[in-house]
Structure 1
Amino acid sequence: MSILLTGLAASSGITIAPAHLLVESDLSIKKQHTADENHEVARLHDSFALSKTELQHLSKRAHELLGQRAVTIIDTQIAILDDPTLQKKIIDRINSHHDTAEWAVKRVEDYYLSVFERKNDNEYLYARATALRDVTKRVLSHLLNVSLPDPGLLDHRAIFVANNITPTDTAQFDKRYVAGIVTTSGGRTSHFTIMSKTLSLPAVVGVKNATTIIHDGDLLIVDGIHGKVIVNPTKEEVEHYRLLAGKFIQEQQKWGALKDKQTVSADGRRFEVGANVGTFADVIDAQEDGAEGIGLLRTEFLYMSKDELPTEEQQFNAYKRFVSAMNEQRVVARTLDIGGDKKLGMVALPHEDNPYLGFRAIRIGLARPEILRPQLRALLRASVYGRLAIMFPMIATIEEFQAARAILDEEKEKLEQAGIQVAKNIEVGMMLEIPAVAVMAEHFAKYVDFFSIGSNDLIQYLFAVDRGNQQVAYLYQELHPAVLRMVRQVIEAAHAEGKWVGMCGEMANNPYAVPLLMAMGLDEFSMSSSQILRVRSLINQLNTRKLQPLVHRAIHAETAAAVQKLVEKYVPQVKL
């Protein structure tokens, strides 16, 4: 009898092959002290040097197998090893706490993970944590004289099943034999997705108990489209999925033809489908996946893993690189969004019992203008290198937006007076994440150039639910009529003032929500790049005028389940 396991679809496709478990090495460490700190520091330097040599070799291999995007990911790990701050922290622990090198490495890793650890599906922070863990494993393997698992030893076609697959694991894959990937941990992080997608490997991550339920040699079906894994499938299931795999290949061929075309519905309505990015590697991925712009540039990447705030010049160079790379396509940069699940070591924040409703995002920026002003100056300077839009996160009142806009205008005037060029057509908008703003959207629309609906937070605040809490996650309902009514109200208010509306939360790539959002008049969809061509293809097939009866019935439905059934009835394509 077959067993169905579910997880998150990280890389699309369908594959059928036996399982091969990738067993992790034992790198467990006990707290130990030393009387010879100099010896431990020397061991540390040796382990870093050996790790760097290995990563440089893997970087070359990644370039041959996976291209520049993968090289960027591995080079990021080399940069972590080269970071003097990291090494100094470890050496300080050895000298001050008399720790052994391996215990000091572990303690410093724990410190950084407390900053980067993923919460509420923050993909950028999770990717940073993944890179740090990968580097730490490599360093510890040398200190403990333990070999890491080598995926390159696989000598037959199989699907890797593991607790976690790191970027450097993927760089060792032999494309002749690796058919797919299943992991127990992880989310749709950019790093993992980039590597598996480049090899065209179907991948499902976050599959609970996969390494205990699945055994070596078990036949698996990995459905990377819907996030399903079938263990020891029946003959009928195998035949069904072989047919689905063939259809998917045909669909992919159609998607490829959309890359260089505009996103237009069947009745001629123009939409824009962009990418959410947090690193420059994400930009490369977005371009190759047919993004028509960047709907969300998370600027937090410049602040993470640093002991000091980035300078204006450092920020300017980074933003210039992003804006220039997009070739006049719009780049929507969100100002620093910290607090809640995102902490910065160099910015002291008060302890709060409920940080998600506390001192965060623009509230910090307005209270700490020495953080906000340099960032705005850097963005303004970068604006002349492409098409830049700026948005403020977590705006709750009109006064907050006006205060943030006034600071931006002040910095723009200072730059122009100093003879520094600034683009004349910078759009200034805001994230719409708070239900009170949606209720007052008709008034906010008079002051903003655009809204970007952050559906993740908006829905959480609307239902008073933490979607990361499994006890109440069922209340997080993107298709609920209350959500649909709120989104429609925002779009109508913005359009009445001649302003555009985008969405950069997960709802924007939900195939059941896309037809509804199209019919409501959403102008821009922004999402993880892996979903872009799928959404563009769906939009291309649908007629917005014919979807109006669906929207009318959906907003008057009573439950999210009822809305889903309506969408399936009107738009059968969503089930493919």
Structure 2
Amino acid sequence: MAGSGAAQDKLDRIAKLIAGDLVAEVCSIYVRRAGDVLELFATQGLKPEAVHETRLRVGEGIVGAIAAESRPIALAEARAHPNFAYRPETGEEIYTSMMGVPILRGGRMMGVLAIQNTSKRFYSDEEVETLETVSMVVAEMIASGELVEASEQRPADGIGLKPLRLEGVRLNGGMAMGFAVLHRPVIPVGRTVAEDAAEERRRLDEALSGMHDRLDKMLADAHKHGQGDHIDVLRTYRMFAEDKGWIRRIVENIENGLTAEGAVVRVQDDTRARMKKVDDAYLRERLLDLEDLAFRLLQHLRGETWDMEHRQLPDETILIARNMGPADLLDYDRSKLKALVLEEGSSTSHVAIVAKALEIPVIGRVKTVLDRVEPMDPILVDGNNAVCFIRPGDEVLSAFRSSLRMFEEKRAAYRAARDLPSVTQDGVDVTLLMNAGLLIDMAHLPETGAAGVGLYRTEVPFMVRSDFPDTDTQAELYRKILDQADGRPVTFRTLDIGGDKVLPYFHEADEENPAMGWRAIRIAMDRPGLLRGQLRALIDASEGRALRVMFPMIANVDEFRKAKAMLDKELERAEQRGKPIPESIEVGAMLEVPALVFQIDALAGKADFISIGSNDLLQFLFASDRGNPRLDGRYDSLSAPVLSVVQEIVRRCARSGIDLSVCGEMAGSPLDALALIGLGVRRLSMSPANIGPVRDTVRSCVTTSLQGFTESLLNRTDRSLRGAMLNFARDHGIPH
């Protein structure tokens, strides 16, 4: 690599060296070209005339399979592999065994490096690792553009300046427009083979020390954004920066002859390969942290600083990334960062939690966005609808500017109206409450004018920690929530874990149907220590104030009775220890399981309130997995079966003297909320962003006419009544 000569000559010599050193009859190097084609660029052992003539598509043949999966393959009987593709021009029919590795750089597949043997051979792990190390050298050569133009390494549909509309998943709402900044500029690695291992180890130690100091400063600065769960996320990230196993793997690669940079990249590539095989959300988050730390460590090794990069940010930055660690987002100038677009990501990912704390719109799972966007491309981000527009045309840009202006005007109007009473035209009070799951969410309580928190999801803080918080830690969190509520009621839902809410430190066997399996109150019944510890923390946190507790996924009265008995036991225990108990306590059940509808009367005198969790109720009512894209939109919340069930719940709660609220997605949709009000629901809890629009709807409707119209829909057999409800809203001038 350091010698003189043309790139093709170097590649030919590399192929010859590998074949000789690994005692292989064949060594072949394939390079990825435009259109996801792998072209044979160099070979030792195959027919020379096949070079630049033999081409395979990604996924075609064993070489194509290695490229498609970005993982090594070692085969003693290559011809028995289902992907084996015979190419007569190469003369490879006489070879039996084959081992190949992907050529990766920055997570991108750039080619394949393979060896073959005539005899049956079982390749060792050490030989695979050797080939992976050499592939790093080849990757740098390809990236230099000496063999193939850099533009050819991008997918065909990413080339050019065509406008694009890409959809994803909403991780945080909001709208923004600006210019693309790629989160991770490529860091040139330079030399990968070391001359002095001791010197490389010294450089690594120095870089690690610098990185740790930088993270400590970042953690201290993060407190400027207020206390919250994002602080716990950053502390966990900082802890992983000293992970002994991760550092040991880097040191081992240095001892095996790589430079400090080469060793970090090698470990980083291994981490990326592992991520592709891991489905567990927690493990993926941990691997992502390690990948981010490797990138950060490379910067320190290269003597580069984030500050220089940040001074060059456009005033309206739209950050584009595959995924990010939580600390990375805080590296950017908040005054310039307008939105975040991710190829991966989830609502509970650490970066999403930090972004919510900073009120940055985020769209996740925008496939291939990194391949389709160029630095400084103009981008429009609609976080509310999870859509982004890359290089928009004049018409789209004009329409978006108009929508953004209206969005800002509406936000200003909602803020101005936050103190107006949520009362219908005919004087009916409808209480609007806020859903929350993070301490940082509590800041929205005064901003929105919500009457309180109708649903605090206590499991969210558990999900962002690396271990189970003890009772004192929980009590401190709940105390801060009540303090920030400043006398407004807060309904704490006890741990609703299981299903799609997995705690990283709570491992149980996989279930065929987790949404209907061992979750929520069912776990609490079988692991009473979890629930009792949480109830004890809530009592301690109340410090004599009013307390509202709600148990999730109650299917029958017996479950509620047992859960309430645990609460009573903890209250008795607190009294015996001389601790202040709540001045008042209300206990409720979350109605998500249809079976509970028929036992509401039996809850009279036991439950103070019931809250409908419409998301799960609809899922169980229609036997429809709400996470299945094939069923998306097939069943509507505004349909006769749903409205009939809600009406029955309203009647039974009124008869039993039990307060009723709705805290699922139905409550936050103005049109759905209109139907709920027509059926007699008077308490609605929703995300902060929906309170303003729903307040407008409430203040514009007349319940007498609304009730008659809504009840007239119950006997209809349409799949959806949304159109009818929409027409009613339009006819009566009700915002929807």
- Quick one: which of 217, 221, 224 aligns to 1:56? 217
Aligned to 1:33: none
1:75 aligns with 2:231: yes
- Quick one: which of 284, 305, 308 aligns to 2:443? 284
Q: Give the SS at the match of 1:247.
A: helix
1:566 aligns with 2:732: no
Q: Once the 2 structures are TM-superposed, how far is the Cα of residue 427 of structure 1 from its aligned partner?
A: 0.6
1:137 aligns with 2:296: no
Give me the whole-angstrom Cα distance separating, in 1, the residues matched to 2:651 and 2:589.
16
Give me the whole-angstrom Cα distance separating, in 2, the residues matched to 1:94 and 1:172.
23
Give me the whole-angstrom Cα distance separating, in 2, the residues matched to 1:99 and 1:272.
62
Amino acid aligned to 1:399: D
Structure 2: stretches of 5+ with no match in the other structure: 1-161, 190-196, 254-262
Q: Once the 2 structures are TM-superposed, how far is the Cα of residue 204 of structure 1 from its aligned partner?
A: 4.6
1:15–1:221 CA contact under 8 A, matched in 2: yes
Q: Residue deviations 1:287-341, cap 9 Å, x none?
A: 4444332222222245446676433323222222212221111111111222223
Amino acid aligned to 1:409: D
Amino acid aligned to 2:280: S
Aligned to 1:314: 473
Give me the whole-angstrom Cα distance separating, in 2, the residues matched to 1:96 and 1:221.
41
Give me the whole-angstrom Cα distance separating, in 2, the residues matched to 1:42 and 1:153.
28
Q: Give the SS at the match of 1:297.
A: strand
Q: Residue deviations 1:504-553, cap 9 Å, x none?
A: 22222123312112222323322332333333333333333332244224
Aligned to 2:697: 538
Q: Give the SS at the match of 1:512.
A: helix
- Quick one: which of 495, 498, 501 aligns to 1:339? 498
- Quick one: which of 102, 111, 116 aligns to 2:282? 116
Amino acid aligned to 1:566: A
Q: Once the 2 structures are TM-superposed, how far is the Cα of residue 373 of structure 1 from its aligned partner?
A: 1.7
Q: Once the 2 structures are TM-superposed, how far is the Cα of residue 256 of structure 1 from its aligned partner?
A: 0.9
Q: Residue deviations 1:353-383, cap 9 Å, x none?
A: 3333222221221222222222212212223
Q: Once the 2 structures are TM-superposed, how far is the Cα of residue 20 of structure 1 from its aligned partner?
A: 1.9
- Quick one: which of 9, 15, 20 aligns to 2:180? 20
- Quick one: which of 648, 665, 672 aligns to 1:513? 672
In 2 relative to 1, CA 191–528 (structure 1 residues): closer, same or farther, beyond 3 Å?
A: farther
Q: Residue deviations 1:221-271, cap 9 Å, x none?
A: 444444444455554444444443433333222111233444333333222
- Quick one: which of 398, 406, 412 aligns to 1:253? 412
Amino acid aligned to 1:387: A
Amino acid aligned to 2:681: L
- Quick one: which of 334, 355, 360 aligns to 2:514? 355
Aligned length: 548
Give me the whole-angstrom Cα distance separating, in 2, the residues matched to 1:387 and 1:264.
25
Give me the whole-angstrom Cα distance separating, in 1, the residues matched to 2:311 and 2:278.
30
Give me the whole-angstrom Cα distance separating, in 1, the residues matched to 2:529 and 2:408.
52
Q: Residue deviations 1:33-59, cap 9 Å, x none?
A: xxx99x989958963761552463486
Deviates more, 1:407-416 or 1:43-52: 43-52
Q: Once the 2 structures are TM-superposed, how far is the Cα of residue 188 of structure 1 from its aligned partner?
A: 5.6
**Bigger relative contact order (CA 8 A; separation at least 6):** 1
Aligned to 1:460: 619
Amino acid aligned to 2:721: V
Matches within 5 A, 1:60-459: 60=221, 68-69=225-226, 72=228, 75-83=231-239, 86=240, 90-91=243-244, 103=267, 106=271, 114=280, 116=282, 129=285, 133=288, 137-142=292-297, 145=301, 150=309, 153-155=312-314, 157=316, 159-164=318-323, 168=327, 170-173=329-332, 180-186=339-345, 192=352, 195=355, 204-215=363-374, 220-231=379-390, 233=392, 235-301=394-460, 303-304=462-463, 309-344=468-503, 346-347=505-506, 349-459=508-618
| TM-score w.r.t. length of structure 2 | 0.64
Q: Once the 2 structures are TM-superposed, how far is the Cα of residue 115 of structure 1 from its aligned partner?
A: 5.4
Give me the whole-angstrom Cα distance separating, in 1, the residues matched to 2:602 and 2:186.
59
1:47 aligns with 2:201: no
Aligned to 1:126: none
1:500 aligns with 2:650: no
Give me the whole-angstrom Cα distance separating, in 2, the residues matched to 1:540 and 1:193.
33
Q: Give the SS at the match of 1:270.
A: coil
In 2 relative to 1, CA 469–327 (structure 1 residues): closer, same or farther, beyond 3 Å?
A: same
Q: Residue deviations 1:31-87, cap 9 Å, x none?
A: xxxxx99x9899589637615524634864x78xxx625x7566334411454xx57
In 2 relative to 1, CA 193–404 (structure 1 residues): closer, same or farther, beyond 3 Å?
A: closer
Aligned to 1:122: none
Aligned to 1:124: none
In 2 relative to 1, CA 219–44 (structure 1 residues): closer, same or farther, beyond 3 Å?
A: same
1:331–1:388 CA contact under 8 A, matched in 2: yes
Give me the whole-angstrom Cα distance separating, in 1, the residues matched to 2:466 and 2:688.
31
1:454–1:504 CA contact under 8 A, matched in 2: yes
In 2 relative to 1, CA 215–55 (structure 1 residues): closer, same or farther, beyond 3 Å?
A: same
Give me the whole-angstrom Cα distance separating, in 1, the residues matched to 2:522 and 2:637.
27
Q: Once the 2 structures are TM-superposed, how far is the Cα of residue 431 of structure 1 from its aligned partner?
A: 1.2
* % same residue: 28
What is the root-mean-square deviation in Å for CA atoms of aligned residues? 4.4
Q: Give the SS at the match of 1:431.
A: strand
Give me the whole-angstrom Cα distance separating, in 2, the residues matched to 1:516 and 1:44.
64
Give me the whole-angstrom Cα distance separating, in 2, the residues matched to 1:141 and 1:346.
27
Give me the whole-angstrom Cα distance separating, in 2, the residues matched to 1:82 and 1:172.
14
Aligned to 2:10: none
Q: Once the 2 structures are TM-superposed, how far is the Cα of residue 134 of structure 1 from its aligned partner?
A: 5.5
Give me the whole-angstrom Cα distance separating, in 2, the residues matched to 1:396 and 1:99.
55
Q: Once the 2 structures are TM-superposed, how far is the Cα of residue 395 of structure 1 from its aligned partner?
A: 1.1
Q: Give the SS at the match of 1:430.
A: strand
1:73–1:191 CA contact under 8 A, matched in 2: no
Amino acid aligned to 1:76: D
Q: Residue deviations 1:193-226, cap 9 Å, x none?
A: 8747957x66554444444455556555444444
Aligned to 2:684: 525
Amino acid aligned to 2:539: L
Amino acid aligned to 1:569: N
2:236–2:466 CA contact under 8 A, matched in 1: no
1:339–1:355 CA contact under 8 A, matched in 2: yes
Deviates more, 1:308-317 or 1:179-188: 179-188
1:184–1:208 CA contact under 8 A, matched in 2: yes
In 2 relative to 1, CA 257–300 (structure 1 residues): closer, same or farther, beyond 3 Å?
A: same
